[in-house]
Amino acid sequence: MSDVFPISGGDKIPAVGLGIWKIDPSDTAQVVRDAIEIGYRHIDAACDYGNEVEAGKGIQAAIEEGLVKREDLWVTSKLWNTYHRPEHVRPALEKSLADLGLDYLDLYHIHFPISLAYVAPEKRYPPGWFFEPDAENPAMKEDLVPIIDTWNAMIEQKTSGLVRNIGVCNFGVSLIRDLIASSSQKPSVLQIELHPYLTQQKLLRYCAEQDIHVTGFSPLGAQSYYSIGMAEQGEGVIDREETKSVAAEVGRTPAQVVMRWAIQRGTSIVPKTSKKDRLRENLALFDFELNEKQMENLTSMNQDRRFNDPGDFGEKAFNTFYPIYE
Ligand SMILES: NC(=O)c1ccc[n+]([C@@H]2O[C@H](COP(=O)([O-])OP(=O)(O)OC[C@H]3O[C@@H](n4cnc5c(N)ncnc54)[C@H](OP(=O)(O)O)[C@@H]3O)[C@@H](O)[C@H]2O)c1
């Protein structure tokens, strides 16, 4: 299979990118540079990850060393929840561009269908989830911005040429349908949590029918969530005997099998690692394949287990009950 997926509008998104959520800022420039040297062409960034300046340094280093040209890279960023008011979209985008040292993005997403009260960048950047983190009982502060207003502002950024493609993260069918019904452009890409414990088959089918490409985040499932208390030991899909047995059959690691399953379903992925050997491991997915039975074995593990759910973590970490999927 090819290492890129065509998306509506004509661009091609790399099948495997590097996600940089939770990469320590002090490591980010080196990891991004090394990833590009190893062959990564997609960097999945976000204002909220707090490491766009460092990611930009890594990209710059790779370009200056002649490892890659800007036009051969795919750089994604995401509009944070506090910038949903249309007048804040352009400045937020410009800040991410300046931090990344770029004059355009390949893809700009709305990060969550969650609109929070504006926090000026001079006051706090990235703004995080709390409105006033130093208050006695800090909480999230909602600002009910209609998502179509934010989406129309995203379309303007595409028209201006600052971004080549626009998309949304963590949206379900009803919200996407509403965007399509009420604007001139549909999202080119939807980024959602996807792994064998959360296969989201109906959402994928809907997106295929609408020609919306899907990128899976947290492709290794629980792996990303142990350290932040959002997964329990024993929830790891790469530790399952079934996964290990498929891995043994194809002579690959369980992580590679789970990621190959994802790209073989037609979804791109953005696995995160700070380790050089894993950067290589996570990109080495194109010289083997899973047969129908192996694909089915992985798909049948579905438990509709969502690790990244604002309806859970909002309350636990940010003192605010904020469900979006119910
Ligand atoms: N749009 C959204 O709302 C959203 C939400 C979550 C994530 N994302 C994006 O998706 C990216 C990926 O998701 P994620 O970071 O949550 O999860 P992930 O990539 O599935 O998993 C990352 C975790 O797995 C470990 N790991 C990486 N490669 C491995 C391998 N080959 N074998 C075993 N363990 C391995 C990493 O540790 P080491 O670093 O120690 O290797 C890290 O703890 C994020 O970085 C971010 O860019 C987007």
Ligand 1 pocket mutation, candidates 223, 261, 276, criterion most atoms within 8 A of CB: 223
What is the DSSP secondary-structure string of 132-190?
A: STTSSS----B----HHHHHHHHHHHHHHTSBS-EEEES--HHHHHHHHHHSS---SEE
pLDDT, tens digit, 9 for 90 and up, residues 189-232: 999 999 999 999 999 999 999 999 999 999 999 999 999 999 99
**Distance from the CA of 274 to the center of ligand 1, in angstroms?**
9
Q: Edge-to-edge strands of the sheet including 107-110?
A: 18-19, 42-44, 74-79, 107-110, 166-169, 189-193, 213-217, 268-269
For the chain, give the percent of residues with pLDDT over 70: 100
> Does the beta carbon of 219 sit less than 6 angstroms from any atom of ligand 1?
yes
SS3 102: coil
Give the pairing of strands 12-14 and 4-6: antiparallel
Per-residue model confidence as pLDDT tens for the chain (326 residues): 999 999 999 999 999 999 999 999 999 999 999 999 999 999 999 999 999 999 999 999 999 999 999 999 999 999 999 999 999 999 999 999 999 999 999 999 999 999 999 999 999 999 999 999 999 999 999 999 999 999 999 999 999 999 999 999 999 999 999 999 999 999 999 999 999 999 999 999 999 999 999 999 999 999 999 999 999 999 999 999 999 999 999 999 999 999 999 999 999 999 999 999 999 999 999 999 999 999 999 999 999 999 999 999 999 999 999 999 99
pTM of the model: 0.98
What's the number of CA atoms in the CB half-sphere (13 Å) around residue 110? 34
Separation of CA 38 from chain center? 20
Distance CA 170, CA 310 (A): 10
SS (H, E, C) 112-146: CCCCECCCCCCCCCCCCCCCCCCCCCCCCCECCCC
Question: Nearest CA to 199 among 304, 292, 307?
Answer: 304
> Does the beta carbon of 265 sit less than 6 angstroms from any atom of ligand 1?
no
By residue count, the chain amounts to 326
Domain boundaries, the chain: 9-316
Question: Nearest CA to 214 among 193, 187, 189, 186?
Answer: 189
Interior angle at CA 195, CA 253 and CA 238, nearest 5:
30
pLDDT, tens digit, 9 for 90 and up, residues 224-261: 999 999 999 999 999 999 999 999 999 999 999 999 99
- Active-site hit among 49, 83, 108, 225: 49
Q: Which fold, 9-316?
A: TIM Barrel (3.20.20)
Distance CA 223, CA 92 (A): 30
> Does the beta carbon of 223 sit less than 6 angstroms from any atom of ligand 1?
yes
